[in-house]
Each structure stands twice: as C-alpha cells, then as structure tokens.
Structure 1
C-alpha cells in the first residue's frame, strides 16, 4: 500500500495535493524522484516558484526540520533553485497556470513530452 506524502515530516495536505496533481502520487514516488525533480514537476504543472518550499521539500526528504537549512547548504540550494527556476521559466513546457495544466490534461491545449512525463509520475 502506498504511503501518503503527508506522512513525511513537514509535508502537509496542501503539498500532497500539489504533488499528486503534478503526477507524484505517494511518498515512495517522491523519494524515488528526489526533491529537485519533484519541484521541477511542480513548476511544470503550474506551481509558482518559492524558495522556502523548495528547501522545505529537501529537508523533508532528509527527515530534517524545515528550518534546519542554513549557511553554505542553504546557499547551495538557493543556487540550485535559481537554476531550476530559470530552466523552467525559459521553457514553453511550463504551464502558465493550473488552469492551463488542467486544460492540457484533458486535451484542450497541447502538452509536450516533458509535461506528459511529469504528469505521469
């Protein structure tokens, strides 16, 4: 039986819903994908980028308190987040909104191979 995402420390129902909508159905899939690629799936599904959410996801998957990210580690994560945000923002694969993502899901607007792959996770 799959483990709910909200069973992971620091992750609640809102992020569970967002991740599920982005194609990440459970804690096992989230751990397998990793925080960085899971956040990419969120962005490609229309989530607005937010650094705190990015590093909270990293801390959660490490079993650490959300506010444990400090110093050089936080600076490194910031650089990775900025690069991910730039990578996704420069792509036509990013949906403008959750509405666009939903319309793509039901076939009203086209989806790219990458957005389809993210939605299937």
Structure 2
C-alpha cells in the first residue's frame, strides 16, 4: 500500500473513501492517473458530478490550496469538467426520460 490519499493537501477521509471505492487506493495511483482520469473513475462509481471536487483534486495534485484556482485557469478547468461530465453522464433510465431530455423538459443535472 502506498501513501494515503488523505496525506495530499485538500484531501480528507471522505475523498479517500470515494477514491478507494473507485479503485484508487493511494496517492501514487491518483498522481499516475491525473485529475481527469481519476474524476472519471469517481463518476463511473456513482459520484455525483460537481465542479468543486474536480478542481480540488487538480489543486491537490499540484500541492496548492483548493481555493487557489482562479481566472483563466478556473475557466479552463471548468471546460475540462464539463467535457468529463458529458462523457460520463448516466443514460436516462427510461425512454420517457430520454424523450423529455431531448425536448428540454427535464433538467438533466437535477437527478
């Protein structure tokens, strides 16, 4: 077993548990994967998409405070997050939900 994820700046027990559930057991594995691939694994293992945890991971991997992300850097991270979220979105549970999504009746982020 490698270095605990909770030893990284910004990472606590809840993130460590979420990463373990997603098959990311230690800080070395997290670093090897990088923020995008690691966050994609979290999404595939049931994490709800939310921008703040994504950029917290990115900042942790850089050893920076979570709230250090600003301006153009934050805008670029938001674009990466939106692309990840779109690629890993859960499919609608039914044909009706798919139809409602297509005509814009449901808020796909509300589920």
Aligned twin of 1:17: 17
- Counterpart Cα distance in 2 of 1:4 and 1:10: 13
TM-score, reference length from structure 2:
0.80
Give 5+ residue unaligned stretches, structure 1: 93-121
TM-score, reference length from structure 1:
0.73
1:36-75 aligned at under 5 Å gives the runs 36-75=36-75
Task: List, as ranges, runs of 4+ consecutive aligned residues in structure 1 with deviation greater than 2 Å.
Answer: none
Give 5+ residue unaligned stretches, structure 2: 93-111
| 46 and 3 in structure 1: CA distance in 2 versus 1, 3 angstrom threshold | same
- Counterpart Cα distance in 2 of 1:75 and 1:87: 19
RMSD across aligned positions (CA): 1.3
Aligned twin of 1:34: 34
Question: Higher RCO, 1 or 2 (CA under 8 Å, sep at least 6)?
Answer: 1
Structure whose CA Rg is larger: 2
- Counterpart Cα distance in 1 of 2:88 and 2:31: 21
- Counterpart Cα distance in 1 of 2:90 and 2:50: 17
